[in-house]
């Protein structure tokens, strides 16, 4: 099977079901666990937006031109607190309306430890799966991406807002009491929440009382030492597939972040 890679698709089952998109086909990855799997990079990278060949991948699978013009590649995607839609400078206002000016959630998750994150309402539980979270708890619902980013920044003064991917891949995280963590953290940002309520309106930020979501990943053996594959340096990735977590395939020979190599043309065998 040959085609360009896209980020892993998944569904929240126990354990999580993963599929590898290769061109127009989907490879059932769970069926390969415990078996030999080989991915061979064929030397071509095709922009996921315009389809043109590019020597280098930008912003996870784009050519340089598309990376510079698409709203989905703007810096505010990585830093939602810098959203500039309301300033009239969004690269693609319609895209912004459809993806940023919609409800978002602020959540706590257990990835490599306790962290805070944000996601669109349409990306639950996908975002948690992509981050390799074993537990997740939505704590706020807000009206826009900007608002979610501002709440996240406030919470990030006290806990991490990034995942240590190496630690995430080394094993199952210790179970955390996310509700207790939320009860401790939220009062610490009370002043900021009041400030945001005055700025955006009393109903803009809604505190939630949700249940913790537990996630189980299909992994039979975690690596003791992390060795990462890179198609740009070595075109063949091969080994026994020991599992999948986040966007990583875990082989007995090393790990590879599939999302990083979006738009790379590969042969799967």
What's phi and psi for 8, nearest 5 deg?
-60, 140
Domain locations in the chain?
2-67+219-268, 102-214
Sign of CA dihedral 89, 94, 97, 99: negative
Spatial separation of the C-alpha atoms in residues 75 and 84, rounded to whole Å: 10
Going by C-alpha positions, the residue among 113, 99, 126, 116 that lies closest to residue 259 is 126
* Alpha-carbon distances of 120 from 75, 86, 102, 134, 162, rounded to whole Å: 17, 18, 7, 19, 17
DSSP label at residue 37: E
CA atoms within 13 A on the CB side of 125: 20
Residue 7: both structure tokens together: 């980020």
Q: Are 177 and 212 in contact (CB under 8 A)?
A: no
pLDDT tens across the length of the chain (269 residues): 999 999 999 999 999 999 999 999 999 999 999 999 999 999 999 999 999 999 999 999 999 999 999 999 999 999 999 999 999 999 999 999 999 999 999 999 999 999 999 999 999 999 999 999 999 999 999 999 999 999 999 999 999 999 999 999 998 889 999 999 999 999 999 999 999 999 999 999 999 999 999 999 999 999 989 999 999 999 999 999 999 999 999 999 999 999 999 999 999 98
Residue 114: both structure tokens together: 């306790």
* Entry pTM: 0.93
End-to-end, the C-alpha distance of the chain in Å comes to 7
Q: How, if at all, do strands 236-245 and 205-207 pair? A: unpaired
Going by C-alpha positions, the residue among 104, 197, 102, 189 that lies closest to residue 142 is 104
Q: What is the pLDDT of residue 172?
A: 80
Question: Would you call the peptide bond into 179 cis, given omega within 30 degrees of 0 as the criterion?
Answer: no
């Amino acid at each position: 099977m040959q085609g360009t890679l896209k980020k892993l698709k998944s569904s929240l089952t126990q354990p999580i079901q993963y599929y590898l998109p290769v061109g127009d086909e989907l490879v059932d990855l769970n069926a390969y666990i415990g078996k030999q799997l080989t991915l061979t990079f064929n030397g071509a990278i095709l922009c996921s937006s315009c389809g043109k060949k590019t020597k280098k991948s930008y912003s996870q699978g784009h050519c340089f031109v598309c990376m510079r013009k698409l709203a989905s590649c703007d810096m505010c995607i990585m830093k939602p607190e810098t959203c500039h839609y309301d300033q009239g400078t969004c690269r693609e206002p319609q895209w912004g309306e459809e993806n940023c000016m919609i409800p978002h959630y602020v959540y706590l998750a257990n990835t490599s430890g306790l962290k805070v994150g944000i996601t669109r309402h349409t990306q639950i539980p996908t975002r948690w799966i992509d981050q390799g979270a074993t537990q997740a708890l939505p704590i706020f619902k807000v009206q826009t991406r900007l608002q979610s980013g501002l709440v996240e920044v406030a919470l990030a003064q006290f806990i991490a807002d990034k995942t240590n991917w190496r630690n995430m891949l080394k094993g199952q995280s210790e179970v955390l009491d996310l509700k207790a963590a939320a009860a401790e953290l939220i009062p610490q940002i009370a002043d900021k929440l009041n400030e945001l309520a005055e700025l955006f309106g009393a109903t803009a930020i809604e505190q939630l009382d949700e249940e913790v979501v537990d996630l189980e990943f299909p992994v039979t053996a975690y690596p003791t030492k992390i060795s990462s594959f890179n198609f740009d340096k070595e075109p063949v990735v091969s080994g026994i597939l020991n599992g999948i977590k986040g966007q990583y395939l875990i082989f007995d020979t090393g790990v590879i972040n599939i999302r990083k190599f979006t738009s790379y043309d590969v042969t799967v065998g």
